[in-house]
Amino acid sequence: MRETLLLTRRDVADLLPIGDCIVAIEEAFRAQAAGRTLPSHALGIELPEGGLHVKVAGLERGRPVVAAKLNANIPSNPGRRGLPTIQGVIALFDGEDGRPLALMDSTEVTALRTGAATAVAARYMARPAAAVLAVCGCGAQAAYQVRALAVVRPLRTVLAYDVEAMPAERLARSLSAEEGLSASVAEDLPSALGRADLVVACTPSKRPLFGPEQVRPGTFVAGVGADAPEKQELHPDLFSRGRVVVDSLEQAAAFGDLRHALRAGALRREDVAAELWELAAGLKPGRASSDEITVFDSTGVAIEDAAAAALVYERAVAAGRGVRLALAE
């Protein structure tokens, strides 16, 4: 194809089921371990109510492909404007001849690959029989986290907690009706944490939401919301009391929950057990014992976007989806 494919959010959702996205993300981390990825880069600027970030990465899929994602992150959007917090586009290029292969909505890709990365981490870090999930923060990302974890663990019960009742009620209803899970609204966060085998925090919080005393031995904890230096969801003591894995050590130290743990002296960079690619490649273990608390600090790495976008493009070409644009004319 010489044309560039224009792919909508609906195209992405139809072409990339969460289970397939998990496979693609895990394969991408294995490719990273094998040296079959290109160096990633990120930059950003502040906006009056948020920021705009650019992430670029590439990998080999028969031939090299490169994805550049441009995302605006405006936390006030849902409440003030009825718009998503995250909006943007991904430009996918042929890594050999530079052709722009596709331009696609990034909102769905970002949501899917974020959930998929948590699932990849849980595959190695959560106990095999983990069946009760506590979700702290019931915005748009929460449902993707639940559906992804249900692929890799035998989820039976979901406890939804949010500072506002309506998002938690909406999430519980949709999971019960559409996913067949026993989902309910948690009365408070401590009670939900006290029952959970898996905990996911996906909020815009700027202060710790819970620490190690509130989670049971053996719990898998994923911090997903801290994607800027001022954000924080997990208490630093969680990092000193558990086995810590990050998607990217550099990113997590710069703006993940790990940043706050390092600044508090709860651990050192060398105390981080692994990056996610090391687990996917079988180079390091994700869990040492059944009663160990495991902590995954997810900041979102560009290789995830590249892997997901490349698969969407390949399937779009095969299925005849999208609008073809002759950009060079």
| Residues forming the active site | 69
For 285, residues 6+ apart whose C-beta sits below 8 A from its C-beta are 124, 279
Supply 86's token pair.
């995250």
Q: Residue 94 pairs with which residues in a beta bridge?
A: 65
C-alpha 65: how far from chain center? 21
DSSP string, 130-148: --EEEEE--SHHHHHHHHH
Compute the distance between CA of residue 277 and CA of residue 30 in angstroms, rounded to an integer: 6
* Residue that is written with structure tokens 């009056």 in the block: 48
The widest CA-to-CA distance across the chain, in whole angstroms, is: 62
244's CB contacts (< 8 A; 6+ apart) are 258, 267, 271, 272, 273, 295, 297
Q: How far apart are CA 222 and CA 148, in angstroms?
A: 13
| C-alpha to C-alpha distance for 295 and 283, rounded to whole angstroms | 18
3-state percent helix, strand, coil for the chain, nearest multiple of 5:
40, 30, 30
Phi (first) and psi of residue 304, to 5 degrees: -65, -45
Indicate if the alpha-carbon torsion angle 317, 319, 322, 324 is positive or negative: positive
> Which residue, chain included where needed, has tokens 């996205």?
21
